[in-house]
């Protein structure tokens, strides 16, 4: 099923690898930061008895899936990833063929899953603050891409979600 909208998503071009076949530094740094954050969340939520509650199992499973999709989205973005909104290339393959901003979507799902896993309102505060910021950032990026790619971006935007 994933192959339907992710054809060739593990090719050299979509993995964000350089000509030497090594992962780019920005991809590696992003991956390490996400792994450390996920590991920390799991560590602080680990039950003292070693027995997980149902909410922790559900939260952990959603964390795992959303983390995986977040990493895939970041890798597929490749060299188009920037800290500020810039139009390097219009990425429309893989996850980006269905969702314009999969990093924001799966990042938000990941944070919600951390909230469920930990069962603490403090993480919910992060979620409530982050989501409006992500929506504003997505709008800014959309304007930049529309100026740079015009009708091509508008057609892409019409056939994708968020």
23 vs 7: CA distance, rounded Å: 20
All residues at 6 or more sequence positions from 42 whose CB lies less than 8 Å from its CB, including other chains: 60, 63, 117
The model's pLDDT over 101-149, given as tens digits with 9 standing for 90+, comes to 999 999 999 988 988 998 887 778 888 888 899 999 999 999 999 999 9
All residues at 6 or more sequence positions from 34 whose CB lies less than 8 Å from its CB, including other chains: 67, 70, 71, 74
pLDDT band for position 21 (cuts 50, 70, 90): very low
Say what the pLDDT of residue 83 is: 64
Say what the pLDDT of residue 128 is: 86
Which two structure tokens, joined as six digits, stand for 143? 């304007």
Neighbours of 84 (CB within 10 A): 8
All residues at 6 or more sequence positions from 162 whose CB lies less than 8 Å from its CB, including other chains: 99, 100, 101, 104, 105, 138
């Amino acid at each position: 099923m994933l192959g339907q909208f992710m054809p060739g998503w593990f090719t050299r071009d979509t993995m964000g690898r350089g000509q030497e076949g090594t992962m780019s530094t920005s991809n590696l740094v992003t991956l390490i930061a996400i792994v450390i954050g996920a590991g920390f969340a799991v560590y602080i939520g680990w039950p003292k008895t070693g027995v997980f509650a149902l909410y922790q199992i559900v939260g952990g499973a959603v964390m795992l899936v959303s983390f995986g999709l977040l990493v895939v989205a970041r890798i597929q973005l490749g060299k188009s990833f920037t800290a500020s909104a810039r139009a390097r290339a219009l990425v429309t393959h893989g996850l980006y063929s269905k969702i314009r901003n999969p990093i924001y979507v799966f990042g938000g799902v990941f944070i919600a899953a951390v909230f469920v896993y930990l069962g603490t309102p403090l993480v919910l505060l992060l979620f409530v603050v982050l989501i409006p910021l992500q929506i504003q950032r997505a709008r800014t990026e959309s304007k930049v891409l529309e100026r740079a790619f015009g009708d091509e971006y508008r057609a892409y935007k019409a056939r994708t979600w968020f």
